[in-house]
Amino acid sequence: MKGIFRKRRDWRGEWAWTFFSKALPNLLLCPPSTGLYGQSEEMSNSSSISHFLLLPLADTRQLQLLHFCLFLGISLAALLANGLIISTIACGHHLHTPMFFFLLNLAFTDLGSICTTVPKAMHNSLWDTRNIFYEGCAAQVFLIFFFLGTECFPSTIMCYDRYVSICKPLYYRTLLGSRACAHMAAAAWGSGFMCSQLHTANTFSLPLCHGNVLGQFFCEIPHILKLSCFKSYFRELGLLAVSGCLVFVCFVFIVFSYVQIFRAVLRIPSKQGQHKAFSTCLPHLAVVSLFLSTGTFAHMKPPSVSLPSLDLSLSVLYSVVPPTLNPLIYSLRNQELKDGLREVILNVFQKE
Residue 158: what pLDDT? 87
- Band of residue 352 on the pLDDT scale cut at 50, 70, 90: low
Rounded to whole angstroms, the Cα distance separating 116 from 262 reads 36
pTM for the predicted model, two decimal places: 0.79
**By the 8 A CB rule, do 218 and 71 touch?**
no
Report in angstroms the alpha-carbon separations of 289 from 90, 134, 252, 284, 333. Answer: 28, 33, 10, 8, 18
Rounded to whole angstroms, the Cα distance separating 151 from 107 reads 9
Buried b (16+ CB within 10 A) or exposed e, 102-124: bbbbbbbbbbbbbbbbbebbbeb
Residues 6+ apart with CB under 8 A from 67: 57, 58, 121, 125
- Could you tell me whether strands 131-133 and 51-53 are parallel, antiparallel, or unpaired per DSSP bridges? antiparallel
Q: What is the pLDDT of residues 162-213, one digit of tens each?
A: 888 888 888 888 888 888 899 999 999 999 999 899 889 888 888 888 888 8
Give me the domains of the chain, ranges plus CATH numbers.
Answer: 2-30 (no CATH), 51-351 (1.20.1070.10)
- Of 117, 243, 138, 247, nearest to 201 by C-alpha is 138
Q: What is the pLDDT of residues 128-143, one digit of tens each?
A: 888 899 899 999 999 9
Quick check: 280 pLDDT over 80? no
Residue 107: what pLDDT? 92
Q: Report, as an integer, the average pLDDT of 63-68.
A: 90
